Amino acid sequence: MTIVWTDPAILDLESIRDYIARDSEYYAARFVQRIIDTVDSLQRYPELGAVVPEFAEYGIRERLLQNYRILYEVRTDHVLVHAIVHAKRDLGSLELER
């Protein structure tokens, strides 16, 4: 199964990197790589994450990594990464690419 990143998810990843890099480029790169590794693990185990209650009707799942939620959707032939959001963020205002 292939992984497809939406533009908003890529922007989220870049924003996380930029935020952490203000203190440490090294830790920013390490954390971004951990996110990418977590997403890549979905190739083998796409249904590993829990269904997100706010988006259950769309089958959106999540993997948690420290304080971040990686939101994704399992499709027939790929996993679509929708967003990477801080755990404290209210998902009610989040619009997912359909």
Give 55-91 pLDDT, tens digit per residue.
Answer: 888 899 999 999 999 999 999 999 999 999 998 877 7
- C-alpha span between 63 and 72 (Å, rounded): 8
**Residue 98 domain flag:** no
Q: How many domains does the chain have?
A: 1
Residue 60 maps to which CATH number? 3.30.2310.20
The structure tokens listed for 2 are 């292939």
- pTM comes to 0.91
Please determine, for residue 29, whether its predicted confidence score (pLDDT) is greater than 90: yes
**Residue 97 domain flag:** no
pLDDT at 25: 97
Average pLDDT over residues 24-31: 97
Please determine, for residue 17, whether its predicted confidence score (pLDDT) is greater than 90: yes
- C-alpha span between 93 and 45 (Å, rounded): 28
pLDDT at 20: 96
**Residue 13 domain flag:** yes
Q: What is the dihedral of CA 80, 84, 90, 95, to 10 degrees?
A: -40
DSSP state, residue 59? T
Domain span at 7:
2-89
